[in-house]
Structure 1
């Protein structure tokens, strides 16, 4: 985990600390058991784990509690989501922000979330050994622009940023450019911006192909395929 992500998580805790735990939080009796309700109140916020919070993260605000209740648990849910194999999908959790109309929240809260999302994105690009397409799409939806994601994707060779670039092209590119409905994924403007950004990486890919051809033939083949995609699709 990068120091920037650690700092962003701590900022979430500080920003949303004004929202207390609600021991009488209402929930749909058909959807929730007494055990579900007990789990989220038996420990301190930072001690709650994935098993404790997964049910709430899925049901928050729709059938369990209100926006202020969600704000109380948001820091811990986002911490688990970004640092562990959280049970609930990224699109479900981040979709709660849309549901809660987060862009009407106080400016300080919006900034804390923006900073967290960007720190998570940078951490993912640097350290994960695969391109997190769900994270890419969901942050794009929340920001309503692709530019911050691409601007904060420097390509270096001492981390996984280059390998993630190849994985995007080799595994997700065609699916991404087929999406034209903004409610589902990238809109046309974002697709065009992505294509231009990728075209500018062509020379870099050519250089790294010759480098990896002598030490990792399988990865060199993936780079070759990525180059073909850039040359024929962008």
Structure 2
């Protein structure tokens, strides 16, 4: 049996810490939602009852709903199962990675008591390290990064961790990410939507991501033998837009 890596052990410990820290938490007793569109009163009662196991569908509807009056209490209630579902890829299969990140943002977890906010931060950090270094990580790095940026409101700390993770797995994740992002970035568009940020703030993130890719990604992609066209298109991020269009290797979907 393969022994878990140090990164996996750290993530397992972070998940266990979330379970301990948020044991006994419940949704606010006065929170409510539409029975016609969200779910039944009985299901809402489950969210207001501590430590009752939630079905995957109820968990999904809890983090998808953006109209909770007490989003911090709701996030505390669902955090342990939501974190586990994120790590396992269940949230991807349910189609709600974007909404999961927004649930963190709406909950304003950075403002929580230190014990709670530290547990959340450690989970996010540990999940990112596994994503970048573990062959068996369930969720692509570009999906995880979008959640982390939404959840934290920042990009730099996650890129800094990627810069220091220089192994082949992290570099392959980088190639996969740029392959996913290339069409948006070559059109000077952000590669994901961050609903808690303004358009100007999103533009700052796009510029930061583009500059980071130009600095860190070309050599790493070449070292792992990434497709030469992909490497060339990465270099086009440093070319002014009018000249970029004339390059024969510009993706056809951009033109």
Rate the CA distance shift 1:10–1:57 in 2: closer, same or farther, 3 A.
same
Normalising by structure 2, report the TM-score: 0.69
1:152 aligned counterpart, secondary structure: helix
Number of residue-to-residue matches in the alignment: 218
- Does 2:100 correspond to 1:93? yes
Q: 169, 174, 190: which is aligned to 1:179?
A: 190
1:12-37 Cα offsets, whole Å, 9 max, x none, are 12222252577886443333224534
Rate the CA distance shift 1:88–1:40 in 2: closer, same or farther, 3 A.
farther
The answer on whether the counterparts of 1:198 and 1:230 sit within 8 Å (CA) in structure 2 is yes
- Does 2:236 correspond to 1:232? yes
Q: CA separation in 1, counterparts of 2:212 and 2:156?
A: 11
- Does 2:127 correspond to 1:106? no
1:19 aligned counterpart, secondary structure: coil
Unaligned runs of 5+ in 1: 210-219
- Does 2:83 correspond to 1:78? yes
Q: Is 88-97 or 191-200 further displaced after alignment? A: 191-200
2:224 aligned counterpart, secondary structure: helix
The answer on whether the counterparts of 1:146 and 1:190 sit within 8 Å (CA) in structure 2 is no
RMSD: 3.4
The answer on whether the counterparts of 2:190 and 2:202 sit within 8 Å (CA) in structure 1 is yes
Rate the CA distance shift 1:44–1:163 in 2: closer, same or farther, 3 A.
same
Task: Give the CA deviation at 1:166.
Answer: 0.9
Normalising by structure 1, report the TM-score: 0.74
> 1:5 corresponds to which residue?
11
The answer on whether the counterparts of 1:27 and 1:65 sit within 8 Å (CA) in structure 2 is no
Unaligned runs of 5+ in 2: 239-255
In the TM superposition, what are the counterparts of 1:110-125 in structure 2 within 5 Å? 110-125=117-132
The answer on whether the counterparts of 1:202 and 1:227 sit within 8 Å (CA) in structure 2 is yes
Q: CA separation in 2, counterparts of 1:70 and 1:90?
A: 15
The answer on whether the counterparts of 1:54 and 1:88 sit within 8 Å (CA) in structure 2 is no
Q: CA separation in 2, counterparts of 1:4 and 1:198?
A: 31
2:103 aligned counterpart, secondary structure: helix
In the TM superposition, what are the counterparts of 1:126-165 in structure 2 within 5 Å? 126=133, 127-128=136-137, 131-153=140-162, 154-157=165-168, 160-165=169-174
Rate the CA distance shift 1:85–1:193 in 2: closer, same or farther, 3 A.
closer
- Does 2:59 correspond to 1:48? no
Q: CA separation in 1, counterparts of 2:216 and 2:80?
A: 37
Rate the CA distance shift 1:15–1:198 in 2: closer, same or farther, 3 A.
farther
